[in-house]
Amino acid sequence: MQKTISLKTHKREALYDITSKVKNVVSESKIKSGLVNIYVQGATAAIMIQENWDESVQEDVVSLLKKLIPQGIWQHDQQDGNGDAHLKAGLIGPSETIPIINGAIGLSTWQNIFLCEFDGPRSNRKVVVTVINSEGA
């Protein structure tokens, strides 16, 4: 099963919690054992599993990446000013795969799934959620 989630982002760089949307797709699939893959379409965004309890962790991720990969110093900035966004997205990566255990996403208590926006705001970020059944495999 495969569904596309569309999101509107509001900041140039931020993490957006998409866990409930992914859980809805997994629930709808009725798959009890398998994998869910979450993949963002776009070269300036990424998917990350991170702590969900304290927003400071998400803010720290953005702060760290801004320090490691500052804006405005890359060759690609001459084209469209977002060289840092491409590098950040490449470093984090476009997808995560999580096991489905007894019909639920196998995240721990403190983990959630985040869309990492590095070149926003965007009116329509697309995240493809693919659920794969492993029962009977």
Kindly report, residue by residue over 74-121, the tens digit of the pLDDT.
989 888 989 999 999 999 999 999 999 999 999 999 999 999 999 999
- pLDDT at site 48: 98
State in Å, rounded, how far the first CA of the chain is from the last one: 16
Q: Residue 133 pLDDT > 70, yes or no?
A: yes
Kindly report, residue by residue over 21-65, the tens digit of the pLDDT.
999 999 999 999 999 999 999 999 999 999 988 889 999 999 999
Widest CA span of the chain, in angstroms? 52
Residue 25 CB neighbour total at 10 angstroms: 20
Q: Does domain 2-133 have CATH number 3.40.50.1360?
A: no
Give the sheet arrangement for strand 111-117, strand by strand: 14-17, 111-117, 45-51
| Predicted confidence band of residue 132 (pLDDT cuts 50, 70, 90) | very high
Q: Where are the domains of the chain?
A: 2-133
* pTM assigned to the model: 0.94
